């Protein structure tokens, strides 16, 4: 909204209000985290909780410094991050391919739908020993990551296909377009918002799968550090690993949000 090339006072007030809201939200987030850490530290100092069992923020910082500069914390974080990224990519590729198959063939969709429902309801942790035997201790982590996220990917992408207006497809069909052309020119471009939403969900799901896989079979990664720290009763190691896991999830979600904004701008520009 501009008048004579300048923004109107009403629009300027709106922008200032938006900036103030963003600043207040950021400050509130920081205050919640700071309050949580302060209560945790004081509860340990005043013996409301046992720091041997729960640790405390000041001890975590010391442990983080030692593990980061004299240990292999970043090595384990890199392994978990790599496994998660690979798991997300494979889950998205495989899940999208199966969703395309279901859209392409109604027969395949109806024939395989009961198996998708059963696999979605199946507790994935029960598959851990199977993946360990089939894939070994290294690749079983990827098996767990994909098993947890691929079914959700299939269901979300397929639902996104179903929500796309049939008018455009009927119009293309009337002009003699093939299914491949409809998929390439309409279905996939129009499904960008659904693919982005699926990708956001998959960040958390795949990370859960990776950690579960590392719990069961891995000899490296943050999941391995958590299990090892619990076995030797080093709660500082466990808490530092959990904190690194939280930071890793925030980083991955931020990358996905950045990709989502780029994809959204491209999609709206092309639309």
CATH of residue 154: 1.10.3720.10
Tokens of 1: 């909204």
Q: Does residue 264 sit in the same domain as residue 229?
A: yes
Q: pLDDT tens digits, residue range 49-59?
A: 877 777 778 87
In a domain, 145, yes or no: yes
Regions of the chain with pLDDT less than 50: 1-3
Q: pLDDT tens digits, residue range 243-253?
A: 888 888 889 88
Q: Does residue 35 sit in the same domain as residue 115?
A: no
Q: Does residue 29 sit in the same domain as residue 121?
A: no
In a domain, 87, yes or no: yes
Report pLDDT for 7.
64
In a domain, 50, yes or no: no
Report pLDDT for 75.
85
Q: Does residue 80 sit in the same domain as residue 24?
A: no
Q: Does residue 156 sit in the same domain as residue 214?
A: yes
Q: Does residue 19 sit in the same domain as residue 38?
A: yes
Report pLDDT for 168.
66
Q: Does residue 31 sit in the same domain as residue 62?
A: no
The answer to whether the beta carbons of residues 69 and 75 sit under 8 Å apart is: no
Rounded Cα gap, residues 245 and 83, in angstroms:
13
The answer to whether the beta carbons of residues 73 and 61 sit under 8 Å apart is: no
Q: pLDDT tens digits, residue range 27-72?
A: 898 899 889 888 888 888 888 887 777 777 887 787 788 777 776 8
The answer to whether the beta carbons of residues 199 and 264 sit under 8 Å apart is: no
In a domain, 131, yes or no: yes
Please give the tally of structural domains in the chain: 2
Q: Does residue 127 sit in the same domain as residue 172?
A: yes
Report pLDDT for 1.
46
Q: Does residue 118 sit in the same domain as residue 95?
A: yes
Tokens of 170: 């009927």
Q: Does residue 140 sit in the same domain as residue 221?
A: yes
Q: What is the DSSP letter of 125?
A: G
Q: Does residue 39 sit in the same domain as residue 64?
A: no
Q: Which domain holds residue 22?
A: 2-45
Q: Does residue 15 sit in the same domain as residue 116?
A: no
Report pLDDT for 93.
92
Q: ∠ CA 153-156-158 to the nearest 5 degrees?
A: 100
């Amino acid at each position: 909204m501009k008048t004579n090339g300048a923004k109107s006072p009403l629009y300027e007030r709106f922008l200032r209000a938006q900036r103030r809201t963003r600043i207040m939200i950021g400050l509130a987030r920081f205050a919640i985290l700071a309050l949580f850490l302060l209560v945790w530290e004081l509860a340990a100092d005043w013996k409301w909780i046992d720091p041997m069992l729960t640790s405390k923020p000041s001890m975590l910082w010391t442990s983080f410094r030692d593990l980061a500069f004299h240990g292999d914390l970043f090595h384990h974080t890199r392994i978990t991050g790599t496994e998660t990224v690979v798991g997300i990519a494979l889950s998205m590729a495989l899940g999208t391919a199966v969703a395309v198959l279901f859209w392409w063939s109604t027969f395949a969709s109806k024939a395989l739908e009961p198996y998708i429902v059963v696999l979605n309801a199946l507790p994935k942790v029960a598959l851990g020993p199977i993946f360990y035997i089939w894939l070994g201790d290294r690749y079983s982590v990827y098996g767990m990551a994909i098993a947890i996220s691929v079914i959700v990917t299939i269901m979300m992408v397929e639902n996104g296909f179903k929500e796309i207006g049939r008018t455009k497809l009927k119009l293309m069909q009337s002009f003699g377009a093939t299914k491949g052309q409809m998929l390439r020119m309409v279905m996939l471009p129009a499904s960008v918002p659904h693919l982005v939403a699926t990708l956001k969900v998959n960040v958390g799901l795949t990370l859960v799968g990776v950690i579960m896989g590392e719990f069961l079979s891995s000899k490296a990664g943050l999941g391995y550090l958590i299990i090892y720290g619990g076995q030797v009763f080093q709660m500082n190691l466990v808490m530092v690993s959990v904190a690194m896991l939280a930071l890793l999830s925030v980083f991955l979600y931020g990358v996905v949000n950045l990709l989502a904004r780029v994809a959204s701008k491209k999609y709206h520009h092309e639309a």
